[in-house]
Structure 1
Amino acid sequence: MKYLKSMALAAGMIAFGAIAAQAEGVDEINPDVAKRLYNPEMLDPSQPVGPSPLRDFKAKNPPPWKIGYASSYAGNTWRANAMDPLQNEIIPKWKELGLISEVIVTQSNLNDSTQIQQMRQLVDQGVDAIFVCCSNPTALNQTVQYAYDKGVPVFSMTGYLTAPTAVNSSVNYQVAGFEIGKRMAEELGGEGNVLVVEGIPGTSGSDSQDRGVKAGLATAPGIKIVGSIAGMWTDQVAQGEVQKWLATHPGKLDGIVVQSAAEMGVLRALKQSGREGVKVAVGGELGALCTWRKNPDLISAAVQTWPPADDINLIWRIMMRTLQGQGPKVQSVLVDPVVITYDDLKDIVPEDCDENAQNWYNVGQEKWGSTEYLNQFFVNPADPTQYKR
């Protein structure tokens, strides 16, 4: 298992230039991190990476703080696997530390207007901070400003908001997508027909990763993208959409690049169609990893782009640091994707694993924004669990 710590992986796509023209906050972080994750050539062009206006933020109240989680969707395994550690690990831990009083959770079911209303209600109910997940990058901007004006910072995990006062955290999805697409092209020897299964179009994480995937596939001129469909980050949706596509496209198909959480649906659709020998990009669903465990030729490596427990733990620690006055330097805290090989897989899932497992593999805090790693992104860095009122 390894981080993608060398941008040589993107050879042929970019040549590094100076990063001095980047924002002040980026100039203050580790140059190697800035070079591989904040290089303009490997960033979503809309990714906010300027100096954070929360650099001098002070919480309006002392702890224990009341937190709002304005979730945009609850209909897939990823969301369930993010909610579980929030409710059963994070909230009990931080209550015991005396730093939070409660977390109020709302669900908007992909309705921007509903999410906006819910966020405003959270502010009016007296929360001290709000975090969101995987939301429309622009629709919430006025609401983020409304919250900020009332002393309530907003944090976005697994994707970004373009509001200048929001703080975002995620993997660099364009880098991750590029790695996935390039690996698929290499799996196929530089030639073949590939179907691309996106996530939820219009969300920043999906669009950024899709852009990277298609750039990675384009590194091999013999690769042809024969279709692009939306799996909606949901296995049932992806299964139905891929089944329909396969039924109307009987020609040769060599590979499918799919965004989690949808790879189990893709694998089921392939099985039901009788198609064999198709390479499939695998993410973090343990059911899909189990299928790979039992079918070594499915793919050579899996790129982890959004392990749910790690993602929610990452944004939580960033949020706590900000409430404690540590001062985020930059609008977006980005981390490296993590690659697991088939040899790694043997230590992750047993041979008698369940191909229908609904839970996810998480790489762990040390590989997804460790305390030392996060320190570089804050003006006054400290372990947030050691905060004394």
Structure 2
Amino acid sequence: MKKRTNVGRPALIGTAVVTLAALGLAGCSAAAAPEADSVAQPAASAAAGQCGSVPDLGANDPDGLLKEFSPETAAAYNAYPLPVKKSAWADWKSEKDGGYTAAIVGMPPASAFVNVMLDTVRKELAAADVEIVADLAPDDPTNVPLQLQQFSQAVALKPDVIFFIPLAGEPSVDAVKAAGEAGIPVIAMQSVVDSEYAVSVAGNSVLQAMKAGASTLSAIGGAGNVLRVTGIPGISTELYAEDGFQNVLELCPDVSIAGEVTGFFEATTAQTATLQYLATNPAGVDAVLQSGTMGLGVLNAFEESGLEVPPLADLGATQGFASWAAQNADYPYVGSTTPTVRQSQVSVDIALRILKGEGPKINQFVNDPFIVDRSNLEELVDPAWKTTDSTDLVGDPQTFFPDEVLKEYFNNPSS
């Protein structure tokens, strides 16, 4: 098994603030859309270890806990950066049989993604007759101290469960432990926490970048110049994307990074930065690896510059880019989806299961990223969508922890 290249990343999470969003031929100097018969197939078609394949880096599973899971479920942990631990709630049940209460410690509602996630949690809790005793969020996505203070306020109210979107993972560990020692399970959504007292519910961002990146590099024949469009420097989402892209780039010695621009996970900012890059590099590049939610902005930059749109890893895909790709049948599209509503629904489901004593086996609930490419693009795109639409492409929501998979994570799953 290949040595893991990203195991050192978790130490960097302590200074990371989760994003609000929150995602040509060799030697050719000008990017060109491949002909129809050269449209890239899913990365899995490349032989293991070759450029365009997804490396098997294994799971960070020091205690072998994933052996209890099906191979398909365990595969989602390939290159996952945090260690899998036995959940502190594996043999626990609430003393109450109903009438539960919950606290929410979220993020500032400055993005559609966060708004939808939190609104869905509130609706799901109301439908389950769970009273929300606190609904808190800091004033700024960088104000980690205030969020931790609000988390302590929530613990003091003694809710039965806390729903948490941590701004920073490592600084939250002690706060989550305090909640656990008070008998309060924590459901960490989107941004993960390295604690046995929290159940983190998220996709594998490293594997997501590996899958989309491998297909993108395959589309250029494993050779050429690549532009990196990064998000917010230093935050966990960006670090995980960097790890994933680097893992697949290591298999592609004939691919070079031609340049890098920073888009801060905002499509308009990424568009401006890419335009500036192309103005001084008018020949373009052969492919683009972007860290998430900025694909539509990069697409617009190439079109505005009068250049062919190169293969682009559309992490955190939008309806607009997917619609454009559907209208350009020769384009080797690959992206990943963000099932925001389903993620929140699953988070509430997991919380209720824990309270009822179903016993989560582990602390990290990790879903295999859902990849969109030419094999399923047409069935996911609505012809009525506009190519300018920045709405998230949710794909098939049921691919995010379908019920039969979710049951694997519990010792005493309900029928």
Same fold (TM over 0.5): yes
Tell me the residue number matched to 1:257.
289
**Taking CA–CA contacts closer than 8 Å with sequence separation of 6 or more, which of the two structures ends up with the larger relative contact order?**
2
**Distance in 2 between residues matched to 1:59 and 1:200, nearest whole Å:** 40
In the alignment, is residue 80 of structure 1 matched against residue 115 of structure 2? yes
Query: Residue 328 of structure 2 is aligned with which of 277, 286, 295?
Result: 295
Alignment of 1:293-332 (within 5 A): 293-304=326-337, 306-332=338-364
Query: Residue 90 of structure 2 is aligned with which of 55, 58, 70?
Result: 55
**Distance in 2 between residues matched to 1:237 and 1:66, nearest whole Å:** 41
The answer to which of 237-246 and 113-122 deviates more is 237-246
What whole-Å deviation, never above 9, does each CA across 1:271-290 have from its counterpart, x for those lacking one? 33333232222243112212
**Distance in 2 between residues matched to 1:99 and 1:335, nearest whole Å:** 26
Q: CA deviation at 1:99?
A: 4.2
- Evaluate the alpha carbon distance shift between residue 310 and residue 363 of structure 1 in structure 2; reply closer, same or farther with a 3 A threshold: farther
Contact 1:155/1:315 (CA < 8 Å) preserved in 2?
Answer: yes
The answer to which of 178-187 and 168-177 deviates more is 168-177
Query: Residue 104 of structure 1 is aligned with which of 135, 159, 166?
Result: 135
What whole-Å deviation, never above 9, does each CA across 1:34-92 have from its counterpart, x for those lacking one? 2x2335xx232xx13011122123336553323233223533343234345345xxx2x
**Distance in 1 between residues matched to 2:97 and 2:368, nearest whole Å:** 33
Q: CA deviation at 1:206?
A: 3.2
Alignment of 1:1-389 (within 5 A): 11-12=49-50, 14=55, 22-34=62-74, 36-39=75-78, 42-44=79-81, 47-59=82-94, 61-87=96-122, 91=123, 93-101=124-132, 104-107=135-138, 108-133=140-165, 135-250=167-282, 252-282=284-314, 283-304=316-337, 306-342=338-374, 344-382=376-414
**Distance in 2 between residues matched to 1:82 and 1:183, nearest whole Å:** 29
The answer to which of 187-196 and 98-107 deviates more is 98-107
What whole-Å deviation, never above 9, does each CA across 1:201-236 have from its counterpart, x for those lacking one? 444343223211221233221111223444333223
- Evaluate the alpha carbon distance shift between residue 220 and residue 247 of structure 1 in structure 2; reply closer, same or farther with a 3 A threshold: same
- Give % identity: 24
Which amino acid in the other structure matches residue 322 of structure 2?
L
Which amino acid in the other structure matches residue 67 of structure 1?
A
**Distance in 2 between residues matched to 1:296 and 1:80, nearest whole Å:** 34
Give the unaligned 5+ runs of structure 2: 1-41
What whole-Å deviation, never above 9, does each CA across 1:4-32 have from its counterpart, x for those lacking one? 99798864565688x89742532322244
Which amino acid in the other structure matches residue 104 of structure 2?
Y
SS in 2 for 1:196: strand
Q: CA deviation at 1:183?
A: 0.7
**Distance in 1 between residues matched to 2:326 and 2:60, nearest whole Å:** 45
What whole-Å deviation, never above 9, does each CA across 1:98-133 have from its counterpart, x for those lacking one? 344567242442321122122112222343222233
The alignment yields a C-alpha RMSD, in angstroms, of 3.1
Give the unaligned 5+ runs of structure 1: 384-389
Tell me the residue number matched to 2:21.
none
Equivalenced residues, count: 369
- Evaluate the alpha carbon distance shift between residue 43 and residue 350 of structure 1 in structure 2; reply closer, same or farther with a 3 A threshold: closer
SS in 1 for 2:229: strand
SS in 1 for 2:90: helix
Contact 1:290/1:354 (CA < 8 Å) preserved in 2?
Answer: yes
**Distance in 2 between residues matched to 1:73 and 1:244, nearest whole Å:** 31
SS in 2 for 1:54: coil
Q: CA deviation at 1:160?
A: 1.5
Point out the structure with the larger helix share.
1
Contact 1:72/1:135 (CA < 8 Å) preserved in 2?
Answer: yes
Contact 1:94/1:100 (CA < 8 Å) preserved in 2?
Answer: yes
Q: CA deviation at 1:375?
A: 1.0
**Distance in 2 between residues matched to 1:134 and 1:270, nearest whole Å:** 35
